[in-house]
Structure 1
Amino acid sequence: MSSPRRYAVSFLALSLALTVALTAGCGNDPSPRASGAVRATTPTSTAVPTTSGPTTSAPTTSASTAATKGSATTARRTTSTPVRKATTRHTPSSTSTPVRAPKPVTALGPVPRAGAEPSVRFPRNEPAVGSGANASVGAIPDAAWAKMIGYSWTAGCPVGRSQLRWVRVNFWGFDGKRSRGSIVVNASIADEAAAAFARLYELQFRIRQMKPMDSSWGRNPKGPGADDYAAMEADNTSAFNCRYVGGEEASKVYSKHAYGTAIDVNDFENPYVADDGTVYPDRYFLTRRGPAPGVFSSSGSAAVRAFTSQGLRWGGLWSNPDYQHFDR
């Protein structure tokens, strides 16, 4: 064999041996570089063992989510639902009559004639002002004070104008009409007097007239002050009058009226008995002390208590009774 031929056989054998070696080392997989493809990487997974029973899907909720749902469920179970109360609708009856407030009384019947009466049965009184008793307390008006000077007030009296008050109040007259009256009292009992007369109004207690003691009554023939005897005969209700004790002027002892701390109401129906037994102004009602219009019948009567509840005492309990009199 020639040398070139031997070289060719040797090269062929070497190529065959190299091919066999490469095939044994790499297997049948084509080289990635040769094919140009990129091999995907598959993550390693853990196999889940299976059982012979039915397959159950594992829950995907996390522990914190489960706890939150549990709390919400508990809250829903413990929260009470408010219960609505049944509402009853009242259907007004077609036959019901609405209740109306009673109308205020504006007049009463006149008081029947009694066995004895003052000279003027129904004196002309000032008409009432406002509703109810409408009591007021204030300073004495100049015009009223001018009529008092020299009559119910004179120099030397124990009190002056500044210590007195002007009380105005509505009252029920013997004629059945609502009237308005005025009295002058000491400032220390002014509010009490106003309250007492307001109570008499509520009781529909009758008052003949209520006018201050002044020049209209004239001068007292038995001493200082306006004429109290004329006022008693006229059945006038009054208070301040700078005079001596009635029927006892010789003693020259000032009455409580001279201080404005005494009030006389309905003199004719509530007479006064002096120390000598004389009855002023009339004896008719002295023994007729039962309940009657304008009469203070007993210490327990509502009319008397209108004054005594204000801290005033009643002269009807004295040994020589003075049924018309209240003082402090």
Structure 2
Amino acid sequence: MTSPHRCALPVLALSVTLLAGCGGSPSATAGSVGAATSATSNTTSAPTPTTPVVPSKVAATATPAAPTTVVRSTVVRSKVAATGTPATRHTPSSSSSAKATAAPKPATSLPPVPRAGAEPAVRFPRNEPAVGSGANASVSAIPDSAWTKMVGYSWTRGCPVGRSQLRWVRVNFWGFDGQRSRGSLVVNAAIADEAAAAFTRLYELRFRIRQMKPMDSGWGHNPKGPGADDYAAMEADNTSAFNCRYVGGQEASKVYSKHATGTAIDVNDFENPYVADDGTVYPDRWFLTRRGEAPGVFSTSGSAAVRAFTSQGLRWGGLWSNPDYQHFDR
């Protein structure tokens, strides 16, 4: 059986002839028309074709932009911009400051040095008390009071240098008794600042010094030549510098020592003995074979105490063939 919907056309007015041609009877015309109407309502109309829009030639072609003239501008940087904005100093807040740990107070004394196998007659000589904090080193012209005591002893006519070429160095040091004391040295002006720096470093290292007194009338006359008595000073373990004398142990040669120009310093004679050309050891040989780390001892060229002087351009006598462990010079 042929379905009346197969030949239905999407037109509301259909002729009977067309319906008959599709195999339908005249009696079914009304139903066919209704069915056609129903089918038409359920059929989606085809979209009406649109006429394509052809863009005009003018619209399709982009209008060329007018040429742009580039004007170079010169940027002048201000001095502040060129050099950069200064850094702002940071001030810690009150809370961070409150948390900061207070620096420990500097020591005012140390334990006394224990007895050694060899010591001077006066173990703890009376030293002048320290002045100020730290080493508090100073360099100045020689005071009249000090020069008066030197003339005729550590300085005599014929000395290689005069008063104007010498300087007075004052510095605090740590004594063998554990107390902070103050000492004085007379040195050549050429090494005055270096000497002050070296003894400042010894103070920082807490290196012990027995005593530090200038060579003058207090030591008496040298029994073997010009100058104050250096042998008495060595026996007392005194640290000193200028003394217009001949080379110790070789006075017969009448060759002036570097101490005669103030360019040599002797530190802790007992702990750092001197070996003369004839093999004699001054002032005592006990420490000659005991060169380890000990209070007041210059042990090796690499030790911090020795470097306190060598870093200032002074040489150490401990490296000589006849060692002079107490001696530094330029």
Matches within 5 A, 1:8-23: none
Alignment partner of 1:281 out of 280, 283, 306: 283
- What residue is the counterpart of 1:16 in the other structure? none
Which of the numbers 141, 149, 152 marks the counterpart of 1:150?
Answer: 152
Alignment gaps of 5+ in structure 2: 1-92
Structure-2 residue corresponding to 1:178: 180
Instruction: Please point out which of 310, 315, 318 is paired with 2:317.
Output: 315
Letter aligned with residue 315 of structure 1 = G
2:196 counterpart SS class? helix
For residues 57-86 of structure 1, give each alpha carbon's deviation from its aligned partner in whole angstroms, at most 9, with x where no partner exists.
Answer: xxxxxxxxxxxxxxxxxxxxxxxxxxxxxx
1:215-294 to structure 2, matched below 5 A, reads 215-294=217-296
The residue number in structure 1 matching 2:327 is: 325
CA shift digits 1:218-244 (9 cap, x unpaired): 000000000000000000000000000
What is the match of residue 117 of structure 1? 119
1 CA distance for matches of 2:249 and 2:240? 17
The CA distance in 1 between the partners of 2:122 and 2:220, in whole Å, is: 17
Following the alignment from structure 2 to structure 1, what is the Cα–Cα distance between the partners of residues 100 and 316?
A: 46
Q: Deviations over 1:180-224 (max 9, x none)?
A: 000000000000000000000000000000000000000000000
Q: CA deviation at 1:258?
A: 0.2
- In the other structure, the counterpart of 2:194 is 192
The CA RMSD measured in Å over matched residues stands at: 1.6
Q: Distance in 1 between matches of 2:183 and 2:282?
A: 23
Q: Match of 2:168?
A: 166
- Look up the match of 2:209: 207
Counterpart residue number, 2:142: 140
Q: Partners in 2 of 1:323 and 1:99 — Cα distance? A: 42
Q: Distance in 2 between matches of 1:132 and 1:158?
A: 34
**Aligned-residue offset at 1:100:** 2.2
Match of 1:22 in 2: none
Q: Hey, what's the Cα distance between the residues in 2 that align with 1:325 and 1:156? A: 24
Aligned residue identity for 1:175 = D
* Structure 1: runs of 5 or more not aligned: 1-89
Q: Which residue of 1 aligns with 2:305?
A: 303
Distance in 1, Cα, partners of 2:130 & 2:141? 20
Provide runs of 4+ in structure 1 moved above 4 Å. Answer: none
Secondary structure of the 1:191 match is helix
1:26 counterpart residue number? none
* Partner SS for 2:139: strand
Residues of 2 paired with 1:98 and 1:310: CA distance?
Answer: 36
Q: Quick one: distance in 2 between partners of 1:190 and 1:122? A: 27
TM-score, scaled relative to structure 2: 0.70
Report the counterpart of residue 34 of structure 1 in structure 2: none
Shift of 1:99: 2.2
Distance 1:316 1:119 in 2: 25
Q: Which amino acid aligns with 2:322?
A: N
Q: Offset at 1:98? A: 6.1
Q: What code does the residue aligned with 1:189 have?
A: I
Alpha-carbon distance in 2 for matches of 1:153, 1:116: 31
In structure 2, the residue corresponding to 1:207 is in which secondary structure?
Answer: coil
The corresponding residue for 2:72 is none
* Offset at residue 101 of structure 1 (A): 1.3
CA deviations 1:148-195 (Å, max 9, x no partner) are: 000000000000000000000000000000000000000000000000
Query: In terms of Rg, which structure is larger?
Result: 1
Secondary structure of 1:199's counterpart equals: helix
Return the alpha-carbon distance in structure 1 between the equivalents of residues 100 and 324 of structure 2. 50
Amino acid at match of 2:231: Y
The whole-number CA distance in structure 2 between the counterparts of 1:98 and 1:319 is: 53
Q: Percent identity?
A: 88
Whole-angstrom distance in 1 between the partners of 2:102 and 2:240: 39
Equivalents in 1 of 2:100, 2:196: separation in Å? 37
Separation of aligned partners in 1, 2:241 and 2:103? 37
